[in-house]
Structure 1
């Protein structure tokens, strides 16, 4: 009898424990009681902005220039050298026909003036194309061939020196002459020269 009671007590105790566990489950979080899909609202949090590393920093998009370029050339270090900056100076000498030819060069930036660049007075300067000019207004065509050849030999070293002075500062250099024969003679002596017949003279 005592054994039955003990056994019955164990059964009753076990039943009470199950009832308590069930009661606990009734008040517990439903998520803990059984697996189910997420039904609770998810709290939205703003992600913390991450600072880009210097290597990953976004590059700004290129924008067009606010002002149109001054000319078809790039400003380089040599352009900042004082000797390469063009300075208008009065025409040398009193040769009016010569000066008139120089002043009427198309797109001359400084008509009425010579332009001093890198230690040399050039007769004209087309600034937009960075072109200084040396103007020759001699009556080359009227001279005999021997005199023409002598004239070219005498003048060529100075013309080449002027070209190098201009080139050092990033300028193109042009020799202006009054006739085709003069142009041909200069190119025969140095075919790397840029010679233009000034038909406006």
Structure 2
């Protein structure tokens, strides 16, 4: 009743109140709009998911194509050991040229006596082992190895002498080759001139000496 009375008494006041009331309503609407904008701004923007398309299935390539694409391994040779000489084999084949005195083979004292009496024999009473072979004597001063033959050559028939030379020549030549591989000279000692001539006829490169001290 009092409020109505005031409106009736002062209409300008009522108009002012309406104006104020309108301002309050507009301000409240602006605040709600700002709050809604801030809320929308703080949340991440949700976009619709892109349309997914099915991935086309790839068919495996046929075996023939795979075989062509796959790199072929290089052919390897047979698993054989190397054919070239190895260090061990070279060492084994290398001549052992250092002279080593060894006891006489024994069983033939006249033979050993002739060998021990060779002039300038460096190892009387011994054989000398060089390059895998026992030699009867060694003269170090002249680097000469000896093979002594004490057979009674003159007592045999001419036919037996030829056979004897033929049987012994191969071994004599082998001994000379072994001596020369180590840088030694090689001499054959015999007891007769006939034996010397027969050996020189069979191989003119042989150095044959008649042992006149036997």
What does residue 187 of structure 2 align with? 174
Partner of 1:153: 166
Within-5 A mapping of 1:182-193? 182-193=195-206
- Superposed, 1:1-201 pairs within 5 Å as 83-201=96-214
The CA distance in 2 between the partners of 1:198 and 1:110, in whole Å, is: 18
SS of match in other structure, 1:93: coil
| Unaligned stretches of 5+ residues in structure 1 | 1-80
Please provide the CA RMSD for this pair. 1.0
The higher radius of gyration belongs to 2
- Between the two structures, name the one with larger relative contact order (CA 8 Å, sep ≥ 6): 1
How many residue pairs match? The answer is 121
Question: How much does 1:82 deviate?
Answer: 7.0
Distance 1:137 1:173 in 2: 17
SS at structure 2 position matched to 1:128: coil
Asked whether the 8 Å contact 2:95–2:182 carries over to 1, the reply is: no
CA contact (8 A) 2:127 2:136 kept: yes
TM-score relative to the length of structure 1: 0.59
Deviation at 1:93, TM superposition (A): 2.6
Between the aligned partners of 1:93 and 1:187, the Cα distance in structure 2 is 28
- Secondary structure of 2:147 counterpart: strand
Distance in 2 (alpha carbons) for counterparts of 1:104 and 1:141: 22
Other-structure match for 1:37: none
Listed as ranges, the gaps of 5+ residues in structure 2 are: 1-93
